């Protein structure tokens, strides 16, 4: 269990790049095949995501298997995934590999993950789709104690020969080599509550060891927990995919498709102090629908229509911001979509910095562990500098801004508990 170092008298500190290393492209191992983490809550009428998924797997020749291991209702969620893929022209088969399937258990699901018939179906497929639910179930069934089942081995072989590996929500969380298993409280994770097998666990590693994936990202305000895990585990690049959105990862390139976008953290140039999350010069980008990002070069490419419209000119004299009435600070920077609103304000508002606070007012009675520091909170400081670029979508669609390379500094702060008292 990792707990904030200052509290326990120990120290943990991830390696950080020096100046020379930070100026170089990331030595990124290309992702095999095509991996498509979907941020969860993908609507049935989201043609941009669902049709694209079938096209990537071969169009009319696409052959998918659906693995509903994560679901608490695998018959229902599995059948829905099958229907959505078939509706777009794919051939699809649902595999009965799920501990919550009626009459099944963890042990029987593990036996199903070793059945030659299921392995054969995957070997005949061009794509695999993992449903949502609890990602721990999928890891426990397909990769118990880090030992890959025959089904997982077959999925990896499919990926190696160029197939599509896709998943929504829990099906996206398993894509990294390390995943969040059950970490609902981001502030607690920032305080260091990251127990192996509890809050965090082994993922299935479809995107390799260098990229971290998280999901339901902006909707559930998960930037704090992703940053904390990246620092603790040594990740340099993290991608948080929002709901109703997919990230298409092929080789070293990411493309964002859907109704929202994804947040990308780059820690190559970050410097960290020991103890609770205390880090400077994290580069943070918001990739909107149609934007691309090269993980080897760590360079973004904005949607062509936005590029043609022109960049926001906040670095030039006479800049007239569109967002004139802005909040000086966000009292819950980990609230729903708060980090995106703050970034939008940063690039299209009158101030060159935006501040936010992350803090737990009180601990829930069913919290998994006692709060190690009730008065510990975190200040998020977003800044725009010479590396920051932004585009808006006004007149193009109803999407959001595209924002590349803002600066993020996070430091621990002490807040009074209780946070407020009755007025007297």
Q: How confident is the model at residue 13 (pLDDT cuts 50, 70, 90)?
A: very low
Mean pLDDT, range 366-388, rounded to an integer: 92
Worst-scoring range by mean pLDDT, 100-104, 144-148, 154-158, 371-375?
371-375
Region for residue 136 given its phi and psi (left: phi exceeds 0; alpha: psi -120 to 50; beta: otherwise)? alpha
Mean pLDDT, range 213-222, rounded to an integer: 98
Over 80: is that where the pLDDT of 316 sits? yes
Mean pLDDT, range 2-23, rounded to an integer: 37
Q: How confident is the model at residue 318 (pLDDT cuts 50, 70, 90)?
A: confident
E strand intervals along 51-96 = 63-67, 91-94
Mean pLDDT, range 387-399, rounded to an integer: 83
**Would you state the pLDDT for residue 106?**
98
**Strands, sheet with 253-258, edge to edge from the N-terminal-most edge strand:** 91-94, 63-67, 127-130, 164-168, 31-38, 245-251, 253-258, 292-294, 299-301
Over 70: is that where the pLDDT of 12 sits? no
Q: Is the dihedral of CA 295, 297, 298, 301 positive or negative?
A: negative
Mean pLDDT, range 91-97, rounded to an integer: 98
> Across-strand partners of 238?
212, 265
**Would you state the pLDDT for residue 416?**
84
Q: What is the pLDDT of residues 319-361, one digit of tens each?
A: 888 887 677 789 999 999 999 999 999 999 989 999 999 999 8
Q: What is the pLDDT of residues 113-144, one digit of tens each?
A: 999 999 999 999 999 999 999 999 999 999 99
Mean pLDDT, range 387-408, rounded to an integer: 88
- Model-level pTM greater than 0.85? yes
**Would you state the pLDDT for residue 409?**
98
- In percent, the amount of the chain with pLDDT more than 90 equals 81
Worst-scoring range by mean pLDDT, 45-49, 59-63, 361-365?
361-365
**Would you state the pLDDT for residue 320?**
86
Region for residue 58 given its phi and psi (left: phi exceeds 0; alpha: psi -120 to 50; beta: otherwise)? left
Mean pLDDT, range 302-308, rounded to an integer: 92
Omega cis (within 30) before 418: yes
d(CA 221, CA 240): 10
**Would you state the pLDDT for residue 253?**
98
Over 50: is that where the pLDDT of 387 sits? yes
Residues carrying CATH 3.40.50.880, the chain: 30-303
**Domain 30-303 CATH assignment equals 3.40.50.880:** yes
Q: How confident is the model at residue 19 (pLDDT cuts 50, 70, 90)?
A: very low
Nearest partner of 222 among 212, 233, 210, judged by Cα:
212
């Amino acid at each position: 269990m990792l707990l904030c170092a200052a509290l326990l008298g120990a120290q943990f500190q991830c390696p950080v790049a020096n100046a020379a290393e930070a100026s170089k492209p990331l030595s990124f191992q290309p992702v095999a095949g095509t991996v498509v983490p979907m941020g969860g809550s993908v609507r049935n009428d989201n043609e941009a995501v669902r049709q694209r998924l079938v096209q990537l797997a071969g169009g009319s020749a696409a052959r998918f298997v659906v693995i509903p291991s994560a679901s608490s209702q695998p018959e229902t969620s599995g059948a829905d995934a099958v229907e959505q893929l078939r509706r777009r022209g794919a051939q699809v088969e649902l595999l009965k590999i799920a501990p919550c399937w009626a009459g099944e258990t963890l042990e029987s699901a593990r036996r199903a993950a070793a059945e030659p018939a299921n392995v054969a179906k995957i070997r005949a497929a061009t794509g695999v789709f993992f449903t949502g639910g609890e990602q721990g179930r999928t890891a426990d069934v397909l990769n118990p104690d880090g030992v890959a089942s025959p089904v997982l081995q077959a999925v990896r072989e499919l990926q190696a020969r160029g197939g599509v590996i896709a998943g929504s929500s829990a099906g996206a969380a398993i894509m990294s080599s390390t995943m969040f298993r059950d970490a609902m409280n981001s502030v607690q994770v920032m305080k260091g509550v990251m127990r192996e097998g509890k809050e965090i666990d082994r993922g299935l590693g479809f995107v390799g060891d260098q990229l971290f994936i998280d999901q339901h990202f902006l909707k559930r305000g998960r930037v704090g927990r992703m940053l904390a895990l990246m620092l603790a585990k040594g990740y340099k690049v993290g991608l948080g995919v929002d709901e109703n959105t997919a990230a298409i990862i092929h080789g070293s390139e990411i493309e964002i498709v859907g109704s929202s976008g994804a947040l990308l953290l780059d820690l190559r140039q970050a410097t960290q102090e020991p103890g609770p999350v205390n880090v400077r010069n994290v580069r943070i980008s918001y990739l909107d629908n149609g934007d691309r990002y090269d993980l080897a070069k760590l360079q973004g490419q904005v949607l062509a229509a936005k590029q043609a419209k022109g960049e926001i000119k906040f670095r030039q004299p006479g800049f007239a911001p569109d967002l004139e009435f802005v909040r000086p600070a966000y009292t819950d920077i980990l609230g729903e979509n708060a980090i995106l609103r703050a970034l939008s304000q940063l690039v299209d508002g009158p101030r060159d910095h935006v501040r936010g606070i992350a803090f737990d007012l009180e601990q829930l009675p069913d919290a998994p562990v006692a709060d190690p520091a009730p008065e510990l909170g975190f200040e998020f400081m977003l800044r725009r500098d010479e590396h920051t670029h932004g585009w808006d979508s006004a007149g193009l669609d109803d999407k959001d801004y595209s924002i590349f390379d803002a600066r993020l500094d996070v430091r621990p702060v002490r807040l009074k508990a209780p946070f407020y008292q009755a007025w007297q």
